[in-house]
């Protein structure tokens, strides 16, 4: 035993108003935080259990508890890949191990990863699903943000995007259907999205219907989200998509996310770095993937009513690197 101790707890952070996508709405970000300690130093990681992938707060806490003895015995980040499956639970443990290693060695997480220091990054700002009129009004309130991400749902989506484009004519736009479109919608909407200046369509079809993409010629690049998890899914995804959305809660942590980013580049895929709805602690490790990414979507803290102490500093949509007091 090397004396490492691990704790996990559930937390709930209120959202500004509510956040709605095609699968429903939520008013809080429910997260799990892992703390791994050695001596008087501790590392932390945060994850977001996601119902879409069969996760609950209870199941994630159970998965984390099951590896407590492994952690006490000195389990490494590479070893973690073999004893836990991809998903939220492994993400929190993996990121806590990264943070602890940074504190024990005096190096930054970027240095440990062999990456250049993180600099400020522009993140997308997400507009929650609503009526075209309300989404247009929301866009007016965010008119100075350079990149807007629109949550869509199927019917009236062209009108939603048109309303946002009229309200924020200078903003770059990406859209996310969260699996809500049909193939017929994609064939119809794709050219219209291109006309409205949309740069990316994220997960238009259900993941189970991925094969249908091979028969559809879309003028806007298509990004895999629910269809892309870790390196094991890459062969199929690369045949059908142009871009993948890498989220640490899907890959099961930063360790696998870095491997996935390198592999995606080898496949010629573009990369978006995304997030579930969490605090600055969840965004900090994902920022290390910025050098690989065409799009960054790490706006979770901007959508919350409050954030952690030592939070990431935002100037509009410009994210500054996290302080070492927060992570890494």
Beta carbons within 10 angstroms of residue 36's beta carbon: 27
Calculate ∠ Cα 123-247-311, nearest 5°.
50
Among residues 9, 26, 107, 151, which one is catalytic?
A: 151
Backbone angle region of 81, left / alpha / beta, with phi > 0 → left and psi within -120 to 50 → alpha: alpha
Distances (CA, A) of 110 to 46, 267, 310: 18, 24, 19
DSSP annotation string for 112-180:
HHT-PPP--EE--EEEPS--HHHHHHHHHHTTT-SEEEEE--STTHHHHHHHHHHH-TTSEEEEE-TT-
Which whole-number Å values give the CA distances from 66 to 6, 24, 33, 61, 272, in the listed order?
11, 31, 15, 9, 32
Position of tokens 């997030």? 275
Cβ-defined contacts of 312-315 (< 8 Å, 24+): 312/280, 312/283, 312/284, 312/287, 314/123
Hey, how many other C-beta atoms are within 10 angstroms of the C-beta on 20?
A: 14
Catalytic residue among 103, 149, 247, 250: 247
Contacts of 106 (CB under 8 A, 6+ apart): none
Is 151 known to be catalytic? yes
User: Could you confirm whether 247 is annotated as catalytic?
Assistant: yes
Residues designated catalytic = 151, 247
């Amino acid at each position: 035993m090397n004396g490492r101790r691990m704790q996990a707890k559930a937390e709930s952070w209120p959202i500004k108003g509510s956040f709605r996508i095609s699968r429903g709405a939520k008013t809080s970000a429910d997260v799990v935080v892992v703390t791994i300690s050695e001596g008087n130093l501790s590392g932390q990681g945060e994850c977001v259990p996601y119902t879409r992938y069969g996760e609950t707060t209870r199941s994630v806490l159970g998965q984390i508890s099951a590896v407590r003895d492994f952690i006490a015995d000195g389990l490494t980040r590479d070893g973690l890949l073999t004893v836990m499956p991809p998903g939220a639970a492994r993400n929190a443990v993996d990121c806590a191990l990264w943070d602890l290693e940074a504190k024990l060695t005096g190096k930054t997480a970027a240095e440990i990863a062999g990456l250049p220091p993180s600099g400020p990054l522009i993140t997308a700002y997400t507009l929650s699903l609503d009526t075209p009129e309300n989404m247009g009004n929301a866009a007016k309130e965010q008119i100075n943000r350079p990149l807007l991400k629109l949550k869509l749902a199927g019917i009236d989506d062209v009108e939603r995007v048109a309303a946002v484009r009229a309200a924020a004519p200078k903003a770059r736009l990406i859209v996310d259907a969260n699996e809500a479109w049909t193939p017929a919608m994609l064939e119809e909407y794709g050219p219209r999205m291109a006309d409205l200046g949309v740069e990316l369509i994220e997960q238009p079809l259900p993941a189970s219907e991925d094969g249908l993409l091979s028969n559809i010629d879309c003028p806007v690049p298509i990004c895999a989200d629910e269809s892309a998890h870790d390196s094991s899914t890459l062969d199929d995804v690369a045949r059908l998509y142009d871009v993948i959305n890498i989220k640490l809660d899907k890959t099961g942590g930063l360790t696998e996310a870095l491997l996935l980013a390198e592999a995606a580049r080898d496949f010629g895929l573009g990369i978006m770095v995304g997030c579930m709805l969490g605090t600055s602690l969840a965004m900090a490790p994902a920022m290390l993937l910025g050098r690989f990414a065409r799009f960054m979507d790490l706006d979770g803290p901007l959508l919350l009513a409050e954030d952690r102490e030592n939070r990431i500093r935002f100037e509009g949509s410009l994210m500054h690197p996290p302080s070492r007091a927060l992570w890494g």
